[in-house]
Chains A and B, each alone.
Chain A
């Protein structure tokens, strides 16, 4: 059974930093691209960032480019998102999602339960 477990969410002040993790089990982690998708309270889904299975390619939404960094440690089956210069509009539940294939042009077939990030003073 595939399980994705996010952690690291919490309350942070505007301009601050936060790091999220997503621990994966039940899959050959390095074989699949992984993404972060966020959902602001009461709103729809917004793709944030994707990393290829080997970690050699990364992609970002314009709204987070230059502020967020996606990475992965395939030896630990863990995906990361380092978020810097946080803004109020970054407040959301952040989901990690596994792609169906190694590279980015594939659908999300498994999702974690999400972790809430609140940016507020």
Chain B
């Protein structure tokens, strides 16, 4: 099974400042035949289901603000919120979908400083 880890566990960022979340997989999720990273990011606000933000490690889902961006390849990935807004307070999860079992990172809680 692929183990997903995230850092930090939580972070507090001032409004308008950058937030950076790291995700690491225990083995590569880059599929060589199509050069795609099978890695997604989700946002979950309290009392709500998760919402897809980023897929294929760096493709922003339709309707997601462009302050959210994903990067990385292989085993190391990053979600960046370029200018934190109040509505971005949430828990963020990375997840691989390379093969089953799909696994999620433990989550990173983002708050306002």
Per-position contact with B for A45-77: 1 when CB-CB < 8 Å, else 0? 111001000000001011000000000000000
Which of these, B44, B55, B104, contacts A47 with CB under 8 Å? B104
Contact of A111 among B50, B95, B104 (CB under 8 A): B50
Which among B49, B52, B93 is the interface contact of A114 at CB below 8 angstroms?
A: B49
Chain A residues near B (Cβ < 8 Å) = 35, 37, 44-47, 50, 59, 61-62, 95, 100, 104-114
- Contact residues of B: prevailing secondary structure: loop
Q: Are A105 and B97 in contact (CB under 8 A)?
A: yes
Interchain pairs with CB closer than 8 A, number: 59
Q: Give chain B residues whose Cβ lies under 8 Å from the Cβ of A113.
A: 48-49
Verify if B32 is at the interface (C-beta below 8 Å from A). Answer: no
Extra pairs beyond A44-B93, A95-B49, A111-B49 (11, CB < 8 Å): A44-B106, A45-B44, A61-B100, A61-B101, A105-B99, A108-B40, A109-B55, A111-B51, A112-B49, A113-B48, A113-B49
Q: Is the C-beta of B98 less than 8 angstroms from some C-beta in chain A?
A: yes
Q: Cβ of A46: which chain B residues have Cβ within 8 Å of it?
A: 104
A100 to B95, CA, bound (A): 14
A50 & B100 in contact (Cβ 8 Å cutoff): yes
Query: Closest residue of chain A to B49, judged by CB?
Result: A111
Residues of B within 8 Å of A111, CB to CB, are: 49-51
Expressed in whole angstroms, the Cα–Cα distance for A111 and B56 within the complex equals 18
Cα A109 to Cα B40 with chains together (Å): 10
Which residues from chain A contact B100 at a C-beta distance below 8 Å? 47, 50, 59, 61, 104
Most A CB contacts (10 A, CB to CB) among B42, B49, B103, B104 go to B49
A109 & B61 in contact (Cβ 8 Å cutoff): yes
- Which B48-79 residues have C-beta < 8 A from chain A? 48-52, 55-56, 61
